[in-house]
Copies of this chain bind each other. A is one copy, B any other.
Amino acid sequence: MTVDELIGQFRNSGSFGAGRLAAACDIYEKMLRDKECTIFLALSGAVIPAGMRNIVADLIRSRLVDVVVSTGACMVHDAIEAVGGHHYKGNWAVDDNELYKYHIFRIYDIYVPEEDYVKLDYRLAEIYNEIAAERKGESLASDEFAWELGKRLNDPNSILRAAYVAGVPIFLPSVRDSEFGFIHWLHSSQRKKKEILVVDAFKDVPTICGICGYSPKNGMIVIGGGVPRNTIQSAAIASRKAMDYAIVVTTDRPEAGGLSGSTLKETVSWGKMKDNADNVMVIGDATMVFPLIMASVIERLGGTKFKREPYLKRLKPNPLETYQNES
């Protein structure tokens, strides 16, 4: 039985988690077939350690997403693998003090050697130096910073690299809150003020709002929640382009009031999503749910035969390039 055949059975029963999962597949397929829709992907949590790095890079390369918004940490995980580091299968019930003594960092049941972080720190501090030298005096937006990283990471499997090569914008609204922040400290503590890389916290705001604003329709796929979800939804409200499609995969819950668990229904009151949008919230672990959605939809599209030309790429002049040139 293929994955999409199973999803077809879930559609027939149509209820509880299985029904929501089938709806998520249908909505993503609809987004992809809607020639006017720009697709935003929000990444947070343990997406890369969980082994979804290739899936995300493939989505970018195949133009099955148009814009990525990520936590800093997700792109740190990507960069670690790009500089030769690894995420190893581990055990969540281990003695963490033993791991500490052996310089092994734990992410639930994944291990990363501290050594890989050290490797990352050195390589990225060099890259920061290069960027600062090239862009002297300029403040970068988070998406410019992401592309500058992608330009310099020579790993074809890297998400940052794939986004740079494909010209897919990748926003890092909380870039500071990850190893990228610590590396900046390393970099800046050794250099004169003029030679320090500056990322302007607010500079990416008009760019992402512009993308939303220029697109006739917008859709989002949220893995997790947090800052990436909020960033996309805020762009929707700021550009007065409430989302037409929305899929959220999360284990968070609404009742404590945090954004990550808030319902899509709630977003309608804010103008973040249209009242009649195709939308679904799948309550579950994205490490299971996200690959299921992708496998089902890619099967429907006929795999590599499906060609999608993103709306924004077809516009003349291209608003993305316009924004980039303005910056």
Residues of chain B within 8 A (CB-CB) of A185 are 202, 205-206, 209, 238
- Contact of A27 with B by CB under 8 A: no
List residues of A (84-109) whose CB comes within 8 Å of B's CBs: 87, 89-90, 92-93, 96-97, 99-100, 104-109
Asked if A142 and B201 sit within 8 Å, CB to CB, the answer is: yes
Tell me which of B50, B93, B99, B139 contacts A257 (CB under 8 A): B50
Residues of chain B within 8 A (CB-CB) of A275 are 96-97, 100
Asked if A255 and B16 sit within 8 Å, CB to CB, the answer is: yes
CB distance from A209 to the nearest CB of B (A): 6
Asked if A205 and B234 sit within 8 Å, CB to CB, the answer is: no
Residues of chain B within 8 A (CB-CB) of A234 are 177-179, 181-182
CB distance from A241 to the nearest CB of B (A): 14
Asked if B174 and A265 sit within 8 Å, CB to CB, the answer is: no
- Contact of A134 with B by CB under 8 A: no
- Contact of A268 with B by CB under 8 A: yes
Assembly CA distance A151 to B50 (angstroms): 45
Cβ contacts A29-62/B at 8 Å (1 or 0 each): 0000000000000001110011110000000000
Assembly CA distance A100 to B1 (angstroms): 40
Interface stretch of the complex, out of A2-10, A304-312, A315-323: A2-10
CB-CB nearest in chain B for A139? B198
Assembly CA distance A270 to B173 (angstroms): 24
Asked if B268 and A100 sit within 8 Å, CB to CB, the answer is: yes
Asked if B295 and A50 sit within 8 Å, CB to CB, the answer is: no
Residues of chain B within 8 A (CB-CB) of A182 are 205, 234, 237-238
Asked if B108 and A17 sit within 8 Å, CB to CB, the answer is: no
Asked if B108 and A284 sit within 8 Å, CB to CB, the answer is: no
Residues of chain B within 8 A (CB-CB) of A190 are none
Given contacts A15-B109, A92-B254, contact A200 B199 (CB under 8 A): yes
- Contact of A167 with B by CB under 8 A: no
Given contacts A93-B265, A107-B266, A266-B107, contact A287 B17 (CB under 8 A): yes
Asked if B19 and A109 sit within 8 Å, CB to CB, the answer is: yes
Assembly CA distance A40 to B92 (angstroms): 27
- Contact of A227 with B by CB under 8 A: yes
Given contacts A206-B188, A271-B100, contact A46 B256 (CB under 8 A): yes
Given contacts A108-B254, A227-B227, contact A200 B200 (CB under 8 A): yes
Asked if A287 and B256 sit within 8 Å, CB to CB, the answer is: yes
Asked if A198 and B199 sit within 8 Å, CB to CB, the answer is: no
- Contact of A251 with B by CB under 8 A: yes
Asked if A1 and B1 sit within 8 Å, CB to CB, the answer is: no
Q: Which A residues form the contact surface with B (CB < 8 A)? A: 1-3, 6, 9-10, 12-21, 44-46, 49-52, 73, 87, 89-90, 92-93, 96-97, 99-100, 104-110, 139, 142, 173-182, 184-185, 188-189, 197-202, 204-206, 209, 224, 226-227, 230-231, 234, 237-238, 251-262, 265-271, 275, 283-289, 291-292, 295, 298-299
Q: List 15 A-B contacts (CB under 8 A).
A: A14-B109, A15-B89, A16-B50, A16-B287, A18-B50, A18-B285, A18-B287, A99-B269, A108-B255, A174-B227, A184-B202, A198-B198, A199-B200, A283-B285, A288-B292
